[in-house]
């Protein structure tokens, strides 16, 4: 059975209360439940992880090496400047999909650039919590 790691970056633990007009009203727990239901339908194992700390995210990516078939990552603000997360993704050689709840290309100019995207097999953004479902379906096909 395929194993997929889903990583959530900083401030995503505040979903449901943070900038509802941008991120919606679903909590990260709501999204995790929705993703788990989809994973069961796809017959894949998932691990759902969130951290506000760059080093914890890097450690999780490193730990996935050799036992994970794909990574889905919503790097949050790290999208725009974390060369360390980018390098970790590249180093482990696990197919990775970058996702975002909002369309980062339709927001502030600084949000439209991702340093993570070039080391990913693809990017999905702008579909709210369904970005996770789309990412999961894509990862299941890898």
- Six token digits for residue 1: 């059975």
**Is 112 known as a binding-site position?**
no
pLDDT value, residue 21: 72
Range of the domain at 135: 3-141
Q: Which one of the listed residues 62, 78, 81, 100 is annotated catalytic?
A: 100
pTM of the model: 0.94
pLDDT value, residue 113: 87
pLDDT value, residue 62: 98
Distance, CA of 79 to CA of 83 (rounded, Å): 9
CA distances from 8 to 24, 26, 27, 49, 62 (A): 16, 14, 12, 6, 15
pLDDT (tens digit, 0 to 9) for every residue of the chain, 142 residues total?
999 999 999 999 988 887 777 667 889 999 999 999 999 999 999 999 999 999 999 999 999 999 999 999 999 999 999 999 999 999 999 999 999 998 988 777 877 789 999 999 999 999 999 999 999 999 999 9
- Residue 100: active-site member: yes
pLDDT value, residue 106: 77
Distance, CA of 128 to CA of 115 (rounded, Å): 21
- Residue 78: active-site member: no
Under a CB-based contact definition with an 8 Å cutoff, are residues 7 and 72 in contact? yes
**Is 101 known as a binding-site position?**
yes
pLDDT value, residue 73: 98
Report the CATH number that the domain containing residue 119 is assigned in CATH: 3.40.50.9100
**Is 43 known as a binding-site position?**
no
**Is 82 known as a binding-site position?**
no
Domain total in the chain: 1
């Amino acid at each position: 059975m395929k194993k997929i790691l889903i990583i959530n970056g900083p401030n995503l633990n505040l979903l449901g209360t943070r900038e509802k007009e941008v991120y919606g009203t679903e909590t990260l727990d709501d999204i995790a439940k929705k993703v788990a239901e989809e994973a069961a339908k796809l017959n894949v194992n998932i691990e759902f992880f969130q951290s506000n700390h760059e080093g914890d995210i890097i450690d999780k990516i490193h730990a996935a090496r050799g036992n994970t078939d794909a990574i889905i990552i919503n790097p949050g603000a790290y999208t725009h400047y974390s060369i360390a997360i980018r390098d970790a993704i590249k180093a482990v050689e696990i197919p990775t999909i970058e996702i975002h709840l909002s369309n980062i290309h339709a927001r502030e100019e600084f949000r439209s650039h991702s340093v993570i995207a070039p080391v990913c097999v693809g990017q999905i953004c702008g579909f709210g919590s369904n970005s996770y479902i789309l990412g999961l379906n894509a990862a299941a096909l890898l």
